[in-house]
Amino acid sequence: MIAVLASITVKLDEKAKFIEIFNENVPNVLAEKGCIEYAPMVDAHSGILVQEKDDAMVTVVERWESIEDLKAHLKAPHMDAYREKVADIVQHVTLKVLEKV
């Protein structure tokens, strides 16, 4: 099993629209082979001083059975359609692909 943290910086004034478009695609992703978890999350108001809060960031928490399943996900037609819909909203994306040690 692998975990993925996708950090997506969006235009702050279009964050709600981004989340709406993202959530429309979640059922498609959850139906993919090997998908265990796929959820968008935003920074909580925790009051913890070391928290690096970013209101323009949406973090996607993903868990996949394998790297191969993740790679297939990235090529899925519904992901191409999603990327087209959010192209003018997303400013930057980074991925962390993690494995348990």
pLDDT in tens, 6-59: 999 999 999 999 999 999 999 999 999 999 999 999 999 899 999 988 999 999
- What is the pLDDT, as a whole number, of residue 12? 95
pLDDT band for position 90 (cuts 50, 70, 90): very high
- What is the pLDDT, as a whole number, of residue 6? 98
pTM of this prediction?
0.93
- What is the pLDDT, as a whole number, of residue 7? 98
Structure tokens at 26: 């979640």
Domains of the chain: 2-99 (3.30.70.100)
Please give the average per-residue pLDDT across 55-78, as a whole number.
Answer: 98
- What is the pLDDT, as a whole number, of residue 74? 97
Distances (CA, A) of 59 to 10, 16, 51, 101: 11, 14, 14, 22
Sign (positive/negative) of CA torsion 26, 34, 70, 80? negative
